[in-house]
Structure 1
Amino acid sequence: MAAALTAAAAPVFLASCTAGGDGSAAKLVMGDSFSAKHPMGAGGTQKVVKALEEMAPELGLEFEYFSSGQLGKQSDMATMVRTGAADIAPISPAYVGSEMPLASVGDLPGLGNDSCVSAYALRNLMDKGGILYEEELKPLNLRALWVGSIPSYEALTANREVRVPGDLKGTVQRSTGGAHDRVVDSVGAAGVAMPIGDLYEAITRGTVEGTVASPVSITPYGLHEVLRYSTKGANLGSFSTVFAINEDTWQSLTLEQRRVLSELADDAQQSLCEGLNDSADKQLVEMEKENVKLIDVSQQRSEWDALARPIRDKWVRDLEAIGRPAGEVMRSYEKALQDNAGRAERGK
């Protein structure tokens, strides 16, 4: 349904999503900020894309898919779907903090390290009737299809071992934004916002000294070549992404089209979380094979836990100070984590 990228053209896009009087198929456009090989893409998105490409004709749909940021940057995705420049796209709260600050609850440290538990908990809050749906997705004219959560953020550095949070004091660290900025600030480091794809060059030039990130993203970007140390077990948060559809697009679909898309989203939700859990564990092994020194911080667990709680508490205070129900969101998310604890995959 999208042929251009301007907000002014959005009404044209939305109108084209419904089959016209000439019997033409509705067009469904999906934009993606992840590559097909990234665990977020390989585990979930590609399954949906392949199925829609095969099934679209019989569903009365014309489906187009644009990967690897072809339609825009990660920070553009919410606006693209809201305005109709794309019908479906991944939206990461870390990159759209002004539009979805409450949704960053899933990125905060110390709340969980299993992708399935975290992703399903977030999806509960983002589904219709959930607090994140009512507070953020609905006002943006978005509907959640499936949610991914990259687990187990660690402190990774080029030239220093990190065992306790204080070891990062005075360093310059790359951060994705949102909740991760709070982690960097809390350890006394200076944060530099940049996409992970730019980190390799930034490390080699000495612009930054490390990052807070998940092992999932290290070897795929070749970062094991420049990041020689990593904590293991710091649990510094997650990176959550909701794959959302424009609500007007959803309403224009037939009941059968919605049923199929919902089933594909459910399958993607499960396969993605399983894939991310598996990738997180495997990447630690790969990093060690590439001579990255993994520093087990289990003996310093109390110091990392002491870091996490104040970050979460300040997140609540800061958002409530501007009239957002962060405390209610936090309580709802913690309950959802408990409700979905049986989905845990890691450690089995």
Structure 2
Amino acid sequence: MNKLLKTTSVVALTFSFVGEAAATEWNVSVWGKRRAFTEHVEKLAELVSAKTNGDFTMNVSYGGLSKNTENLDGISIGAFEMAQFCAGYHRDKNRVITVLELPFLGVANLEEEVAVSNAVYAHPAAAEEMAQWNAKLLMTSPMPQYNLVGTGEPRNTLASMSGMRVRATGGLGDAFKAVGAVPTSVTSSEAYQAMESGVVDTVAFAQHAHLSFGTINQADWWTANLNPGTVNCPVVVNIDAYESLSDEHRAALDSSVDEAIAYYLENYGKLLEKWDSVLAEKNVTKVEISDDVLKEFRATAADPIRDAWIKDMEAQGIPGQELYDLVEKTLAEKRGS
């Protein structure tokens, strides 16, 4: 009897260790607070856990694991398994995806933003560059076109933008610099303080960020239709962690990406629907930029910045023209479908 009990205990202990070995727990580094920008990450964690009966869990940390500007570095050394970052934080580390931050690409909505991001992420040059950081591009964080909030008189002409101190990163910063503004790349978490202290007088964000980081509370006005572009913020996973997943867990992760993005789009759509009421509630004037000013802005910023970007990328051995053409082709196909 004792021998039987001993054998049973060993078997039970063995199964216990097997169960523990089968469980997967990932740490995910994002920043700020939970908001529309992070809802796909939260949904992904929820879906993966449900599909694996709780055997694959993700702990989403808002700034507790790393600074937002250092998330890619954290992925590269395996400090955590998943992270979100924005290309404009370190353009030299993720040159390929900066094609998606070129000004005035003409992306009209979030669905088109998802399409062009997916196309660029799938390009071999993007995968190769991210592999240098031990990172695999998993999904985008689609954002609408950025617009300005500002203090004082509205900046509704190019002349009025000259000397404007604006929080804008990446290609957006280049666009505003082209018309005489002075861009600064303070992080999103620092934007409110920069605006409050007068370091900047305008901030370029998508709607959710103006809400989440409080810049709308400092604003006198908001540009409804400037639409100079947006930033691209992928979610990446550590390659070693991804390849170490069991087939079941990897399938649960991969199959949840499209579902998480669909949820993100639905959720963000609700925010956009109530944006006008937010402006009214906070007494922020809605400024419409004239067509002539928009045309002048595009002529000044879009073509020269695009051409310079392509030339710079090609000089570094990156297929800049091919990547830009891919964006244009993807937009045409998306609209055709």
Please classify the TM superposition score into its range, dividing by the shorter chain length.
0.7 to 0.9
Letter in 1 for 2:281: K
Does residue 82 (structure 1) correspond to residue 79 (structure 2)? The answer is no
> SS state of the match for residue 204, structure 2?
strand
| CA distance in structure 2 between the aligned counterparts of 1:294 and 1:131, rounded to whole angstroms | 42
- Matched with 1:328 is 322
Question: Percent of counterpart pairs with the same letter?
Answer: 21
Shift of 1:204: 2.1
Aligned-partner Cα distance in 2 for 1:221–1:289:
17
Contact 2:119 2:326 in 1 (8 A): no
1:244 correspondence with 2:198: no
Whether the 8 Å contact between 2:163 and 2:180 is mirrored in structure 1 is yes
Give the conservation status (yes or no) of the 8 Å contact 1:45–1:268: yes
**Partner Cα separation in structure 2 for residue 275 and residue 113 of structure 1:** 18
Q: Answer whether contact 1:146 1:265 (CA < 8 A) is retained.
A: yes
Q: Who is 2:179 aligned against?
A: 187
Shift of the 281–179 alpha-carbon distance from structure 1 to 2, 3 Å rule, reads farther
Letter of the 2:224 counterpart = K
Paired residues for 1:1-348 under 5 Å: 24-35=21-32, 37-42=34-39, 44-56=40-52, 58=53, 60-61=55-56, 63-111=57-105, 112-127=107-122, 130-175=123-168, 177-300=169-292, 301-306=294-299, 307-341=301-335
Q: Cα gap change, 1:135/1:251 in structure 2, threshold over 3 Å: closer, same or farther?
A: closer
Q: In 2 relative to 1, CA 131–275 (structure 1 residues): closer, same or farther, beyond 3 Å?
A: farther
Q: What amino acid is the match of 1:47?
A: K
Would the aligned equivalents of 1:123 and 1:144 in 2 still touch at CA under 8 Å? no
Provide the C-alpha distance between the structure 1 equivalents of 2:310 and 2:116, rounded to a whole number of angstroms.
18
Shift in Å, 1:26: 4.4
CA deviation after TM superposition for structure 1 residue 249, in Å: 1.7
TM-fit CA distance, 1:180: 2.4
Normalising by the residue count of structure 2, what TM-score does the alignment of the two structures yield? 0.85
> Aligned-pair distance for 1:23?
5.1
Give the number of aligned pairs: 319
Following the alignment from structure 2 to structure 1, what is the Cα–Cα distance between the partners of residues 314 and 269?
Answer: 33
- State the one-letter code of the partner of 1:133: A
**What is the CA–CA distance in structure 1 between the aligned matches of 2:125 and 2:276, rounded to whole Å?**
32
Bigger shift: residues 243-252 or 134-143: 134-143
Are the counterparts in 2 of residues 151 and 277 from structure 1 also a CA contact under 8 Å?
no
Residues 1:342 and 1:273: Cα distance change in structure 2 (over 3 Å): farther
- Conservation of the 8 A alpha-carbon contact between 1:137 and 1:143: yes
| Cα distance in 2 for residues equivalent to 1:207 and 1:178 | 19
Specify whether residues 235 and 309 from structure 1 end up closer, same or farther in structure 2 by C-alpha distance, changes over 3 A only: farther
1:60 CA drift (Å): 4.2
Q: Is the 8 A contact 2:120 2:327 kept in 1?
A: yes
Asked if structure 2 preserves the Cα contact closer than 8 Å seen for 1:173 and 1:208, the reply is yes
The residue type equivalent to 2:334 in the other structure is: N
User: 1:312 and 1:160, CA in 2 relative to 1: closer, same or farther beyond 3 A?
Assistant: farther
CA 1:60–1:286: 2 relative to 1, 3 Å:
closer
Distance, in Å, in 1 between the alignment partners of 2:66 and 2:25 is 17
More helix by share: 2
CA RMSD, Structure 1 to Structure 2 (Å)? 2.5
Aligned to 1:323, what secondary structure does the other structure show? Answer: coil
Contact 1:103 1:132 (C-alpha < 8 Å) held by counterparts: no
**CA 1:289/1:60 → structure 2, altered by over 3 Å: closer, same or farther?**
closer
Aligned to 1:346: none
CA contact (8 A) 2:97 2:126 kept: no
Q: Helix, strand or coil: the match of 2:30?
A: coil
- Deviation string 1:226-259 (CA, Å, 9 cap, x unpaired) is 1212211111111222111122222221222111
Pick which of 204-213 and 299-308 moved more: 299-308
1:77-124: CA deviations, max 9, x gaps?
A: 112222211111113211121110220121222121311211222112
Question: Would the alpha carbon gap of residues 68 and 123 (structure 1) be closer, same or farther in structure 2, given more than 3 Å must change?
Answer: same
**Distance (whole Å) between structure 1 residues aligned to residue 336 and residue 63 of structure 2:** 35
Tell me the SS of whatever aligns to 1:120: helix
Distance 1:287 1:22, change over 3 A: closer
